[in-house]
Amino acid sequence: MARGLAGRLREPLGATERGALLETLVLHELRAEMNRGNLGGKLSYWRTPSGSEVDFVWERGKARVGLEVKAGKHWRREFGTVLAGLRAEQQLTAAFGVYGGNERLVDRGITVLPFVEFARELAAGRVLRAAGSKP
């Protein structure tokens, strides 16, 4: 919508803009599923004082799901470093990467999905509702 109002619909997306737009789309899908599924919980952003971050963390009870979003067509190992660390420390019950590629991957316990597949898995209850109840 913002691009349309700015008269930029036909201009190519830059890498920074593409990332922000994909994160916003994932945020919308997460909030829609939380409401549609009457899941409740808390959706937040996680960042340490040293600057490590996770784009989204959904928490309800003992369930805690971390999601990292990257617009690139290739998932790089460093994208999942923080999520993998939190999984190893048992701070997350599930971890997902969402990216602009075409392949479903597994990276150190992180399920990495192309956006379209992520949206399907989310709607089918295999992202938030399947998070389990213990880290």
Residue 104 has pLDDT above 50, yes or no: yes
pLDDT in tens, 82-96: 999 999 999 999 999
- For residue 64, the tally of other CB atoms under 10 A from its CB is 23
pLDDT in tens, 41-73: 999 998 877 888 999 999 999 999 999 999 999
Alpha carbons 9 and 5: distance in angstroms, whole number = 9
Structure confidence at residue 134 (pLDDT): 44
CA neighbor of 97 nearest in space, from 111, 81, 87, 84: 111
Q: Give me the mean pLDDT over the 31-45 stretch.
A: 94
Which one is the CATH code of 14-123: 3.40.1350.10, 3.20.20.150, 3.40.50.2000, 3.90.1300.10? 3.40.1350.10
Q: What is the model's pTM?
A: 0.88
Q: Which residues contact 13 (CB under 8 A, 6 or more apart)?
A: 21
Residue 58's alpha-carbon distances to 74, 79, 80, 94, in angstroms, are: 25, 19, 17, 10
Q: Which residues of 80-118 are buried (b: 16+ CB within 10 A; e: fewer)?
A: bebbbebbeeebbbbbbbbbbbeeeeebeebbbbbbeeb
Structure confidence at residue 132 (pLDDT): 57
